[in-house]
Amino acid sequence: MYILGNGWSVFTPGDALASLDWLAKSGHRASYAAAHGTSVEAFHGWDFARMANVAGWAYVAYLIDRETAWTWMRRAAAGAKAAFGSFAELGQSVASLVGATGPVTRTAGAGVPLIAAGCVAVVSGTIAGALH
């Protein structure tokens, strides 16, 4: 799968698990927080959404089995549930990074910028379910 190889340098099952573990433990949080002058916690949503995405992509690419993918997606959902009170809060967290690249002119409801909603929609079944 193109995005795993080019975006994540994931080519093997070991690469996939290493990327998922990295996202769970530290991910992009510290570097993005430093770049945006904010707290690490402000970017937890970004890494939780990415963890669920990478797990799904790795499954589709036959790098991990379905149960392993769901285990990582549930872990992302549990992290999101612990960090955010609602799906809208999770969307705002992702938007704090995605929206920083330009003005947000459309929303997906509850004040969540549409671009952030699109990023989070990939994992909404698992994470949104955990937040309800």
Contacts of 50 by beta carbon, 8 Å cutoff, 6+ apart: 23, 27, 28
Q: Report pTM.
A: 0.74
What is the maximum alpha-carbon separation in the chain? Answer: 40
Output phi, psi for 10, to 5 deg: -105, 115
Provide the pLDDT for residue 113.
42
3-state secondary structure of 39: coil
Block means of pLDDT (10 residues each) for the chain, length 132 residues?
Answer: 87 97 91 83 85 92 95 91 82 67 44 43 50 50
Domain locations in the chain?
2-131
- One-letter amino acid of 79: G
3-state secondary structure of 33: helix
